[in-house]
Amino acid sequence: MWVKLAFKLFSREFRRGELTIIFSAIALAVLTVFSLSSITERISLNIAQKSSDFIAGDRRLSSNHAFDQQVLTQAKQFGLKTAKMLYFDSMLFANDELVLGSVKATTATYPLRGKVTIKDNLTGLDYEVDSGPKAGNVWLSEGLFYTLNVKVGDTVELGAGNFQVSKVLVKEPDAPFFSLSGNKRVLLSYADIPTTQAVQAGSRVFHRLLFAGNEQQLSDYYGWLKPQLKSNQTWEGIKDRQSPLGNNLDRAERFLLLAGLFGIMLAAVAMAVSAKRYCERQYDPVAMMKTLGGSRKVIRNIFLLHLSLVTSFSIVAGLLIGFILQTLGADYLATFMGTALPQAGIRPWLLSSLIGLVCAMMFSLKPLLDLFDIPPLRVLRRNLGDTLAVSRIHLALSFMTIFVLMWIFSGEIVTTLILFASTLLVIGVLFVISRLLFSAGRKLGLRPGSSWSLAIATLQKRANANAIQLISFALAIKLMLFLVVLKNDIITDWQMQVPQGAPNMFIINISEQEVEPIKQFFTDNNIVHEAFYPVFSGRVDAVNGEEFARRVSKQEGEEKDEDAREGVSREPNLTWLEDLPEGNEITAGQWFTDAGTGGDDIEVSVFEGWQEVLGLELGDTITLLVNEQPIDAKVTSFRKVDWGTLKPNFVMILSPNMAGKVPVTYFSAAKLEDQHTKDISQLLQRHPTISMIDIKSQIEQAQSIIAQVSLAIGFVLSIVLVSGALVLISQVQASLAERMQEVVILRTLGAKSRLIKLATLYEFMLLGAIAGLVAAIVSDIALLVIQQQLFDIAGRLHPYIWLLGPVSGALFVSSIGYFMVANTMRQNTQGLLRKLG
Amino acid sequence: MSVLSQLNVIQVSSLTKRVSTLEGSLTILSDINFSVKSGESVAIVGASGSGKSTLLSLLAGLDVASEGDVHLDGEALSTLDEEARARVRAQKIGFVFQSFMLVQSLTALENVMLPAELAGDHDAKDQAIELLDKVGLSHRLEHYPSQLSGGEQQRVAIARAFIGSPKILFADEPSANLDSKNGHLIETLLFDLNKQNGTTLVLVTHDEQLAKKCQRIIHIEGGQLEKISEGAAANVG
């Protein structure tokens, strides 16, 4: 039976190292995909969990009407944890002071994600707790302690009830980034709502339900909920929020996806090269077997069994190494993040095994078919079946396979197409360049016998093989350069969002009379601050005289609609400004004209996200209801707003001639240092009606997430770099085996080791430098496109990689080549001859 | 089938081989006719490029003729596909090549057993050991080709050629890659085993001295059969 022979041949081939490269390539593909996808999944899960803290749950449902009981009952049936919240404004009274507070009443399960930060007294230390106050107690934000002149333990009147002030409320996980609701926040137990009697029929309240559970439960529940969502109800998750965090998470995920795709491409290149090489090395044994009477069927069975065995072993090895690698990586990341990463599911196991299998089958198919077709006559004509050029079918199959693998991994056809098409273009350009370079080299008249002339002669002689090698070198270098540069750009961009010296405190509710004294106070105390913006609320009531019918999308994931819906259904904060704010860009129309700034007609510049939802066009007239007073404004421009900056942004900016038409308060931002704490207490005591919103913790939170994601990206990048290095090594190794014969001939003819070593060094140096240069140019062009299309970062060129590419390429490739040739040189000529035999 | 053709284990008639080149069709062998009797030893001689290796490839069914036919033990090779020709080789032919052509990942013993194993015969170990003993390599059974000298590798190839007791043995320049001492040893071994087994031997060589050891010598020149002469062994047994 052929099986026994097949196993015998397999074990020998394995031991001789003939299968090592093909084994390594499949294992590399599997371990790359496994470690990348599981690390990515674990980090994504962790980030999602952390991000969920920002809404205190995984999803939330909001409305200004009470929810049906069934909404909650059903959520519990789907296995979700829930919490109820109610927002309303109510008067607080203590020590003869009366103030309007923003009350949030929560059930005991709040927050479902994240913690509430409190202090035992104003001078105490912050600490975190898992729930809100117990019935009968309230927690007040610091500002209220000053305005009401109370301390912990005192009693305040809230609506019709009396409550004991038990803690200082420092931060709730779901406190909004840019809420102008003030720092007069009150946290109350949901059970105490009736006691306050503040919520009556017709009261202005806001209901919110929080949900937490796994993605499947949440998706199942949403499936049930979706058909019955009402137009006044909003369902959202962390990604639906237009916040710096949401944008950063999106970018991080895109980067990780891109890195994974590149990892697959690199592993695929290694696999394609090694499968072809392995099959070519089997040409002689197969020709011999056929000559000795082996049937095609038996030979086919033997090699298919070999492929199955090596595939199985390498997949298992890849999974094992990948598992160890990702465990080490996750542990390492966990120590930095100070939190254990959640375990990944079964997807990385299945995905990486599938990719290993597809890799093995598709890249081996054509080389194996060629192998089965090797004529027995090769035993007499040794070069029969040798083809320097790669067959078109093999190329087509390889490209198709890479495309399918990328698609399977990403699940995104557009990203896959962009990357695939650009890679094809790179290959085409490289092939032409390499042929031109190698043929141009012929004209260089170099002294015979020198290492350089030998190097160039070798390059020319292998023009085709070199072109292929150059392409794979360049691809590997390109992918590595690309990711390194992209990583730096993304992180720089993130860091720019939270620059040193950015304001960390918002000051709101400043009356017109208070503007000058507060400005003076800031100057006296050396506090850096921003401009004072006039702020007022208004509701879009009509467009061109027609009352605006609110259109609400119920689709989850339609981000623009989701964001806009929230915006449309609430009263946005409006301002008037003379100059276009930083981070804004006019996309249509023009910024306020002289008529707008001086005339009677009021103009408005609208955030482009609202343009679609409201169905606005330039020249339309919007009617805004400000304190029930209608104000008509003509739309003269649409703006792109960079929500990624930690700066105040406005969906509508009116022309400066609005001044004096509506009552306003002012808003500013300042950068406060620790030494200003006392001054700020003074300021609050002097101006008790102003509110300060401390966004220091939000900035710190954003910075911590950025740091975490940067670390994750760095880790993933290092895996891809290792894959890239392995591809380069396997390429050099593959070509070196082919060079052995020449080395033997040159040695036999008396060439000195030094000449051969230097020739190889120069040859690889040239190859590496050309590959590196082309890789750098192509990476930079691809980066321009990718940064703008996928990452929304302003594209720019990176001249330093134009030098880094060729230098690192030449150094890396030549040092591996030199090391390997030097190793070969240590064997005597007879030993080398035997090996070739 | 005539009595004559039954005696002739190889019957070559009007054998022609042409190949296509960039310059057009090139005739490598033209209208070759001869026959070889069972148990006979025949040398095919000629200068380099005369077409002798092509003739060997056609005789052994490794390649197909453009015109004419080769009858191998009564089977017309031109009527057989590659699989059927492989089966004929497995049943009736043994090979010895100039470059030994051993499978590097198999030991000497396993290389000798390979043809039998490919034919599905797994009880060939005893025969393989016996053959390796006959070629003087009983102490090298578990050695890999890279651990053997050129002469030893060719002795393994000879042992492999005789396993399964083939009717015909084709040898292509069997001693060309060896020094004269080892070359002579191999030649002696080949002829001795051939005689012992009653095998028909077809030997391709450019070495006139080696050719003379055969009963008949077929001279090929420029792709044509120039003459057939008798060798020194013509009257022996």
Instruction: Tell me the pLDDT of chain B (237 aa) as tens digits.
Output: 444 444 789 999 999 999 888 778 889 999 999 999 988 999 999 888 888 889 999 999 988 899 999 999 888 998 998 888 988 988 889 988 888 888 888 899 999 998 888 877 767 888 899 989 988 889 989 999 988 988 899 889 989 988 888 899 999 888 877 777 888 888 888 888 888 888 899 999 888 888 888 999 999 998 898 888 887 766 544
Contact residues, B window 149-208, toward A, CB-based 8 Å cutoff: 153, 160, 172
Residue B104 or residue A398, greater confidence:
B104
Does one domain contain both A672 and A749?
no
- How is residue A549 annotated by DSSP? P
- Ranges A306-315, A472-481, A542-551: which has the least confidence: A542-551
A13 inside 8 A of chain B by CB: yes
- Ranges A11-20, A547-556, A585-594, B33-42: which has the least confidence: A547-556
Among B55, B104, B158, B170, pick the best mutation site for testing chain A contact (most A Cβ within 10 A): B104
Report the distance separating Cα A18 and Cα A282, nearest Å: 9
CB contact under 8 A, A285 and B62: no
Does one domain contain both A484 and A337?
no
Residue A579 pLDDT > 80, yes or no?
yes
Residue A352 pLDDT > 80, yes or no?
yes
The whole-model pTM stands at 0.65
Does one domain contain both A430 and A521?
no
Q: Which residues of B touch A284 (CB under 8 A)?
A: 101
Residues of chain A with pLDDT > 70, as a percent, come to: 74
Residue A597 pLDDT > 80, yes or no?
no
B48 inside 8 A of chain A by CB: no
Q: Which residues of A touch B123 (CB under 8 A)?
A: none
Q: Which residues of B touch A289 (CB under 8 A)?
A: 103, 114, 118
CB contact under 8 A, B118 and A375: no
Among B98, B117, B172, pick the best mutation site for testing chain A contact (most A Cβ within 10 A): B117
Q: Which residue of A has its CA nearest to B148?
A: A834
Report the distance separating Cα B30 and Cα B51, nearest Å: 10
A293 inside 8 A of chain B by CB: yes
Contact residues, B window 118-157, toward A, CB-based 8 Å cutoff: 118-120, 122, 145-146, 153
Q: Of the candidates A289, A377, A382, which has its C-beta nearest B62's C-beta?
A: A377
Does one domain contain both A523 and A663?
yes
Please report the pLDDT score of residue A219 as a whole number: 87
Q: Which residue of B has its CA nearest to A301?
A: B118
Report the distance separating Cα B52 and Cα A208, nearest Å: 94
Q: What is the DSSP string of A669-716?
A: EEE--GGGHHHHHHHHHHSTT-EEEE-HHHHHHHHHHHHHHHHHHHHH
For chain B, the domains span: 38-60+80-230
Report the distance separating Cα A325 and Cα A334, nearest Å: 14
A295 inside 8 A of chain B by CB: yes
Domain assignment of residue A37, yes or no: no
Structure tokens at A81: 């944890």
CB contact under 8 A, A837 and B100: yes
ipTM of the shown complex: 0.88
Query: What's the rounded mean pLDDT across residues A597-619?
Result: 79
Neighbours of A286 (CB within 10 A): 25
CB contact under 8 A, A12 and B106: yes
For residues A776 and A802, the answer to whether their CB atoms sit within 8 Å is: yes
CB contact under 8 A, B86 and A290: yes
Query: What's the rounded mean pLDDT across residues A215-228?
Result: 88
Please report the pLDDT score of residue A314 as a whole number: 92
Structure tokens at A125: 């230390």
Does one domain contain both A521 and A390?
no
pLDDT-derived band at A181 (thresholds 50, 70, 90) equals: very low
Q: Which residues of A touch B105 (CB under 8 A)?
A: 9, 12-13, 16, 18, 285
- Ranges A260-269, A496-505, A827-836: which has the least confidence: A827-836
Query: What's the rounded mean pLDDT across residues A430-444?
Result: 65
B87 CB-contact burial (10 Å; exposed 0-12 / middle 13-18 / buried 19+): middle
Report the distance separating Cα A691 and Cα A179, nearest Å: 11
Tell me the sheet residues that pair with B69: B13
Please report the pLDDT score of residue A47 as a whole number: 67
HEC string of B90-135? HHHEEEECCCCCCCCCCCHHHHHHHHHHHCCCCCCHHHHHHHHHHC
B95 inside 8 A of chain A by CB: yes
Q: Of the candidates B62, B93, B110, which has its C-beta nearest A8's C-beta?
A: B110
Residue A548 pLDDT > 60, yes or no?
no
The secondary element (H helix, E strand) that includes residue A634 is strand A629-641
Find the largest Cα–Cα distance for chain A.
Answer: 111
For residues A217 and A202, the answer to whether their CB atoms sit within 8 Å is: no
Does one domain contain both A455 and A514?
no
Tell which of A367, A394, A411 closes a domain: A411
Residue A406 pLDDT > 50, yes or no?
yes
Does one domain contain both A735 and A674?
no
Place of tokens 């000058």: A516
Residue A184 pLDDT > 80, yes or no?
no
SS3 content of chain A, % helix, strand, coil (to 5): 55, 15, 25
Residue A513 pLDDT > 90, yes or no?
no
CB contact under 8 A, A9 and B106: yes
Report the distance separating Cα B140 and Cα B146, nearest Å: 12
For residues A175 and A118, the answer to whether their CB atoms sit within 8 Å is: no
Query: What's the rounded mean pLDDT across residues A355-359?
Result: 86
Q: Of the candidates B62, B88, B146, which has its C-beta nearest A380's C-beta?
A: B62
In 3D space, the residue among A818, A829, A674 whose CA is nearest the CA of residue A751 turns out to be A829
A830 inside 8 A of chain B by CB: no
Does one domain contain both A783 and A826?
yes
Tell which of A652, A667, A694 closes a domain: A694
Structure tokens at A466: 């070199």
In 3D space, the residue among A122, A140, A119 whose CA is nearest the CA of residue A182 turns out to be A140
Please report the pLDDT score of residue A439 as a whole number: 65
Interface contacts A/B by beta carbons within 8 Å = 94
Please report the pLDDT score of residue B4 as a whole number: 47
Query: What's the rounded mean pLDDT across residues A162-166?
Result: 93
CB contact under 8 A, B83 and A9: no
The secondary element (H helix, E strand) that includes residue A99 is strand A97-106
pLDDT in tens, A674-704: 777 677 777 877 776 677 776 776 666 666 6
Residue A452 pLDDT > 60, yes or no?
yes
At a CB cut-off of 8 Å and minimum separation 6, what does A500 contact? none
Among A292, A298, A373, pick the best mutation site for testing chain B contact (most B Cβ within 10 A): A292
At a CB cut-off of 8 Å and minimum separation 6, what does A31 contact? A318, A319, A321, A322, A325, A352
Query: What's the rounded mean pLDDT across residues A604-624?
Result: 83
Residue A178 pLDDT > 60, yes or no?
no
Q: Which residues of A touch B119 (CB under 8 A)?
A: 293
Q: Of the candidates B101, B105, B160, which has its C-beta nearest A9's C-beta?
A: B105
CB contact under 8 A, B57 and A9: no
Q: Given this structure, which CATH class describes domain B38-60+80-230? A: alpha beta
Tell which of A389, A411, A433 closes a domain: A411
Q: Of the candidates A285, A293, A296, which has its C-beta nearest B89's C-beta?
A: A293
Does one domain contain both A540 and A639?
yes
Which 3 state secondary structure label does DSSP give A432?
A: helix
Does one domain contain both A7 and A70?
no
In 3D space, the residue among A285, A379, A378 whose CA is nearest the CA of residue B172 turns out to be A379
CB contact under 8 A, A380 and B172: yes
B63 inside 8 A of chain A by CB: yes
Residue B27 or residue A488, greater confidence:
B27
The secondary element (H helix, E strand) that includes residue A158 is strand A155-158
pLDDT in tens, A259-278: 777 777 777 777 777 787 78
pLDDT-derived band at A83 (thresholds 50, 70, 90) equals: very high
Please report the pLDDT score of residue A317 as a whole number: 94
Count of structural domains within chain A: 4
Does one domain contain both A217 and A80?
yes
B56 inside 8 A of chain A by CB: yes
SS3 content of chain B, % helix, strand, coil (to 5): 40, 30, 35
What average pLDDT does the structure give for chain A? 77
Report the distance separating Cα A316 and Cα A505, nearest Å: 54
Domain containing A645 equals: 505-694
Q: Of the candidates A16, A291, A835, which has its C-beta nearest B62's C-beta?
A: A291
Q: Which residues of A touch B56 (CB under 8 A)?
A: 380
A18 inside 8 A of chain B by CB: yes
In 3D space, the residue among B195, B130, B86 whose CA is nearest the CA of residue A374 turns out to be B86
pLDDT-derived band at A561 (thresholds 50, 70, 90) equals: very low
Q: Of the candidates B105, B153, B172, which has its C-beta nearest A18's C-beta?
A: B105
Q: What is the DSSP string of B132-164?
A: HHHTT-GGGTT--GGGS-HHHHHHHHHHHHHTT
CA distance A13 to chain B (A): 6
Q: Cα dihedral sign for A253, A258, A262, A264?
A: positive
- Residues A554-582: b if buried by 16+ CB within 10 A, e if exposed: bebeebebbbbbbbbbeebbbbbbeeebe
Cα–Cα distances in Å, from A564 out to A24, A82, A545, A567, B34?
51, 26, 21, 5, 94
Please report the pLDDT score of residue B217 as a whole number: 93
Q: Which residues of A touch B86 (CB under 8 A)?
A: 290, 293-296, 376
Per mean pLDDT, which of A53-62, A102-111, A343-352 is the most reliable?
A: A102-111
Q: Of the candidates A285, A297, A376, which has its C-beta nearest B103's C-beta?
A: A285
pLDDT-derived band at A834 (thresholds 50, 70, 90) equals: low
Q: What is the distance of C-alpha B89 from the center of its chain?
A: 11
Residue B55 or residue A713, greater confidence:
B55
